[in-house]
Amino acid sequence: MDYKNTLIAGLCLAIIGGIFVFKYSFRSVDTTTAKKYTVLVQGSCNIPFISEIKSSITPMVNRVIKQELGLNIDDDIDFFIPKDVQRLTLYYVEDIYDNAEIANIILEAQNVVETNQHAFHLKQTGLSFDARFLGDEYDQLVIMADDHNQELATINALFKKPLHQLNAEYTSQHNRSLYNVEHSERYGYNPHVSLGKINLTFINKHIKNSQETDAILDRIRIRITEETLHIAKPLFNTESTHVSFDKIIIFDTRPGGIIKEVPLSK
């Protein structure tokens, strides 16, 4: 009898332990502390206009920043990090909490490109005469795209639908989101090509009075956008600003992360 009671007690403990392990393994992830990952889908471009103005942008930006900071223009200090490639982002997948799923996200995006090749051959998309700063810290100098024919918006929607579906399926299985849809799409879709980034951390180190930081940064951004358009004006025409893609690049932004290049049919 003691043996039977002992056996029953052991089975009960095993069942309770199994339930605990099951519940623990499927607990909600604390997304406020979990490491987050990003996947970008970008069109690789070769826009003559961007190539032509790029060499003039860097010295102009550095000069403006030095003047606003009261530094010697001849000082060998670089405040601008120019983009070394021309890419236009088509979709953002941000705040991915499960890095094991990154390959599935990239595979889904790749399938969109391969099954909708016609959509990526742009016919009426170009750049607009519009330079501005974008990004969470407004440190990215960009030229906005002219998407009046909604070609880029259509491509963005092609990625949005299946990735939303992938997120919904993951959520139903794991009781947490695969990625943060709201954060990924917080700005809407404003297609652009980046010229480079101003180094705000470095700029702030040279501002002597922190109470003047916002005013100085505002002046810097205004002057840079105005002078960028001044440089761009004589070179700006429909032919030189036409946007076309030679391939689509899908990658996660971790050092050494997955990079998938999808060629486009001729």
* pLDDT tens-digit map of 126-145: 999 999 999 999 999 999 99
CA distances from 11 to 7, 8, 19, 20 (A): 6, 5, 12, 14
The pLDDT score that the predictor gives to residue 21 is 41
Helix (H) or strand (E) holding 23: helix 2-25
Q: Is 25 left (phi over 0), alpha (psi -120 to 50) or beta?
A: alpha
The pLDDT score that the predictor gives to residue 234 is 94
The CATH number of residue 217's host domain is: 3.90.1140.10
The pLDDT score that the predictor gives to residue 22 is 37
Co-location of 53 and 13 in the same domain: no
Domain count, the chain: 2
Co-location of 24 and 53 in the same domain: no
Co-location of 26 and 93 in the same domain: no
Co-location of 151 and 207 in the same domain: yes
The pLDDT score that the predictor gives to residue 230 is 97
The pLDDT score that the predictor gives to residue 34 is 61
The pLDDT score that the predictor gives to residue 99 is 87
Q: 5 lies in which domain range?
A: 1-30
Residues of the chain with pLDDT under 70: 1-34
Helix (H) or strand (E) holding 130: strand 126-134
The pLDDT score that the predictor gives to residue 266 is 77
The pLDDT score that the predictor gives to residue 257 is 87
